[in-house]
Amino acid sequence: MLIAIGIAATMLRTLPVKASGLVGDIDEDGDVDGRDVVLLALHWNSEEGNPRYDPNCDLNGDGKIDGKDLAMLAANFGKTE
């Protein structure tokens, strides 16, 4: 329950800065599909300051690209704008 509230709060904080408005649409082509999963995988397990870190893949904006970001992408997988 606390985790769900935390994720919801993070999403509310993150949503306005995303250009596409669709959380998980990393390449901003209007849908959340395998290409976005691949992009997230390429930057997987990196942190802010690491050369592999890409803020577009850090969906919850916590400075790390990890399972929390994958969970947010998975929640929107298959969705389009």
Task: Provide the binding-site residues for Ca ion, judged by CB under 5 A.
Answer: 25, 27, 29, 36, 58, 60, 62, 64, 69
For Ca ion, give the closer residue by CB, 29 or 54: 29
For Ca ion, give the closer residue by CB, 2 or 73: 73
Tell me phi and psi for residue 28, to 5 degrees. 55, 40
**Half-sphere exposure (CA, 13 Å, Cβ side) for 40?**
27
**Other Cβ atoms closer than 10 A to 81:** 11
For Ca ion, give the closer residue by CB, 2 or 14: 14
Give min distance, CB of 31 to Ca ion, in A. Answer: 5
